[in-house]
Structure 1
Amino acid sequence: MRHFKIILMGAGGVGKTSMTTQFVTEKFEETYEPTIEEIHRKTITLDGEQCMLELIDTAGMDQFSQMRDLYIRKGDGFILVYSIIDPTTFEDVKSIREQIVRNKLSEQVPIVLVGNKRDLAEHERAVEEEDGGQLAKRWSHCRFVETSAREHHEVEEVFAHVVRQIMEFENFRKNRVSALHKEASRRKRSSGKCCVM
């Protein structure tokens, strides 16, 4: 069984905990309690393969922002969540993504961008769906999904997307390492040949 560490990040109150709870228990909590850190585990079967997901639901409050580097170093993939009714949370995910890229030393990081709370009335919307889609296109290999944690809309898809991305990145890395080893072996063999006169 493969194990994946997935980190949920975003401002406080965007619905990270609600999404995680819906995914793990299929329940929606009406009350909001600020999270410091919660860890959940769930086994899923994806594309015929069993996967154990360790989900780290992080704090959204600024006083815990120094813990982000630790979460980022631990993570295999990331779910960045904003609320479609709060444009400041949309700005927050941009700086979180920059922090991830800085810590991972690469633009190539498995990320799913999530606009949550699409169940709320359309007149409450402050971030358009196409804004989220365009932002995800600017980020390398990033998927975008709008969800409703309350209605369980697209929640499963978010986690499936991030696991598939992690698998793709792992396969890419393995193939790259294998190709580098083959090239090194080929060079070693060719440099070991000598001509006798």
Structure 2
Amino acid sequence: MEEVKIILLGDSGVGKTSLITRFISDDDDSFARKNSAPRSSQFDPDVKAKEVEINGITIKAHFHDSPGKDTSYSSHSIAPNFYRNADAVILVYSVNDQHTLEALQDCFVTEYATYADISATSWIIVGNKNDLPLDIEKSVLDDLSRCLGKSVALFASAKTGKNVKEVLHIAVKKAHERRKQKEGTFNLKEERQSNRGGQGGCCGRR
């Protein structure tokens, strides 16, 4: 079974954990029960998994949840492993809090770039709490999207469940496509190295 790694970044309180919990829960009671469970450690990433079918292929998606900006991974040894090899990154902000949107580019994207290549992963920007009045500057969202290149900007509400499944399915699909792209690039490099090795010597000379 194919597996993909998806990480979530964003300020404390924007609803990263709630989005994932809503996605893996079967009903409102299950969501409420799982969402109220305490985390084991302030600095350990919380990993949840769910099998998702994309274009007839079953994919096991591992969602790596992170603490917010006030408990940044930057000063902890877990940082490199948390960021590396992510097939997709979900950036989460609150639609009613401009500062949480600005923090994505000012803090989280910058920190991600310290440990991994921005262009080597797929980016999904999610405005959570869409059940509340919208209070953000669209220009900031547009700037962030341009900074990340081919990113997807969406809205959802973990509280009501609106668009959560759609958003997370898109994230898994993007992660799957990115993983296949990485594997194709790796296989091409392997083939080229094998061909060069068979020629012998430098540049094919003996």
Q: Same fold (TM over 0.5)?
A: yes
- Give the aligned partner of residue 113 of structure 1: 125
Distance 2:113 2:82 in 1: 13
Q: Provide Cα deviations, 1:61-113, integer angstroms capped at 9, x if missing partner.
A: 51343344442136332211011111111122112112222211343322211
The 3 A distance-change label for structure 1 pair 182 and 75 is closer
Distance 2:20 2:184 in 1: 32
Decide which moves more: 83-92 or 128-137: 128-137
Q: Which amino acid aligns with 1:169?
A: R
Matched, 1:168 2:177: yes
Q: Provide Cα deviations, 1:12-55, integer angstroms capped at 9, x if missing partner.
A: 11011211111011435498888534322211111111111222
Answer yes or no: is the 8 Å Cα contact 1:7–1:75 preserved in 2.
Answer: yes
Q: Which amino acid aligns with 2:18?
A: S
The TM-score with structure 1 as length reference comes to: 0.80
Q: Which amino acid aligns with 1:63?
A: T
- Give the aligned partner of residue 102 of structure 2: 91
Equivalent position to 1:38, from 32, 35, 46: 46
- Give the aligned partner of residue 3 of structure 1: 3
Answer yes or no: is the 8 Å Cα contact 1:109–1:141 preserved in 2.
Answer: no
Equivalent position to 2:156, from 142, 147, 151: 147
The 3 A distance-change label for structure 1 pair 113 and 20 is same
Answer yes or no: is the 8 Å Cα contact 1:7–1:79 preserved in 2.
Answer: yes
Equivalent position to 1:180, from 189, 195, 200: 189
Structure 2 residue runs of 5 or longer lacking an equivalent are none
Distance 1:87 1:48 in 2: 39
- Give the aligned partner of residue 104 of structure 1: 116
Structure 1 vs Structure 2 CA RMSD: 3.0
Distance 1:88 1:32 in 2: 26
- Give the aligned partner of residue 89 of structure 2: 78
- Give the aligned partner of residue 57 of structure 2: 49
Decide which moves more: 181-190 or 38-47: 181-190
Q: Which amino acid aligns with 2:90?
A: I
The 3 A distance-change label for structure 1 pair 160 and 134 is farther
Answer yes or no: is the 8 Å Cα contact 2:52–2:169 preserved in 1.
Answer: no
Distance 1:52 1:175 in 2: 20
Distance 2:32 2:137 in 1: 26
Q: Which amino acid aligns with 2:120?
A: Q
- Give the aligned partner of residue 146 of structure 2: 137
The 3 A distance-change label for structure 1 pair 32 and 89 is farther
Amino-acid identity (%): 25
Distance 2:181 2:122 in 1: 12
Decide which moves more: 70-79 or 111-120: 70-79
Deviation at 1:160, TM superposition (A): 1.9
Distance 1:9 1:111 in 2: 11
Answer yes or no: is the 8 Å Cα contact 1:101–1:109 preserved in 2.
Answer: no
The TM-score with structure 2 as length reference comes to: 0.77
Q: Which amino acid aligns with 1:47?
A: N
Answer yes or no: is the 8 Å Cα contact 1:101–1:107 preserved in 2.
Answer: no
Structure 1 residue runs of 5 or longer lacking an equivalent are none
Question: How many residues are matched?
Answer: 191
Distance 1:150 1:77 in 2: 23
